[in-house]
């Protein structure tokens, strides 16, 4: 999409990939760069963008594909069987409630 935006407008948009370096169901299904970042302790409770130090001393985002920034998503942690990221930093709270009618039929809540 950024390619077409650049082609039609002449603007060079900042492109961010938040999918390729995200967590998968099993570590062996993750990109090798993400696995290495986890092994080095760089993947934790916050999303990160890794930088590479260039020969001239400046820092550049690691460009693994054809985007400007690659976001390495956080590692999922669980509390009471729920991913902690679902709490949105305390903005959402889990609420327990009874749904006895759902024991006998399928329900949407």
Q: Domain-by-domain residue ranges, the chain?
A: 15-94
pLDDT of residue 39: 92
More confident residue, 55 or 15: 15
Residue found by looking up tokens 């409630």 in the block: 97
Average pLDDT of the chain to the nearest whole number: 85
Q: Identify the band that residue 7 occupies on the pLDDT scale cut at 50, 70 and 90.
A: very high
DSSP structural state of residue 104: T
Residue 55, pLDDT score: 79
The whole-number average pLDDT for the span 13-18 is: 88
Indicate yes or no: pTM above 0.85. no
Q: Provide, rounded to the nearest whole percent, the portion of the chain with pLDDT above 90.
A: 13
Per-residue pLDDT tens over the stretch 42-84: 888 888 888 777 778 777 777 666 788 888 888 888 888 888 8
Report the distance separating Cα 45 and Cα 77, nearest Å: 8
Q: Which position has the token pair 């679902």?
A: 86
Which pLDDT score, from 0 to 100, does residue 91 have?
Answer: 92
Exposed, middle or buried, 15 (CB in 10 Å: 0-12/13-18/19+)? middle
H helices present in 1-109, as ranges: 2-9, 32-39
Kindly tell me the sign of the dihedral angle through the C-alpha atoms of 74, 89, 16, 58: negative
């Amino acid at each position: 999409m950024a390619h077409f935006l650049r082609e039609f407008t002449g603007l060079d948009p900042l492109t961010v990939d938040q999918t390729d370096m995200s967590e998968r169901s099993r570590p062996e299904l993750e990109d090798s760069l993400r696995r290495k970042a986890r092994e080095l302790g760089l993947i934790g409770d916050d999303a990160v963008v890794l930088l590479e130090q260039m020969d001239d001393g400046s820092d550049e985002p690691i460009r693994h594909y054809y985007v400007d920034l690659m976001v390495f998503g956080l590692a999922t942690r669980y509390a009471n069987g729920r991913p902690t990221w679902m709490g949105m930093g305390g903005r959402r709270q889990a609420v327990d409630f009874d749904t006895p009618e759902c024991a006998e039929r399928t329900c949407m809540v």
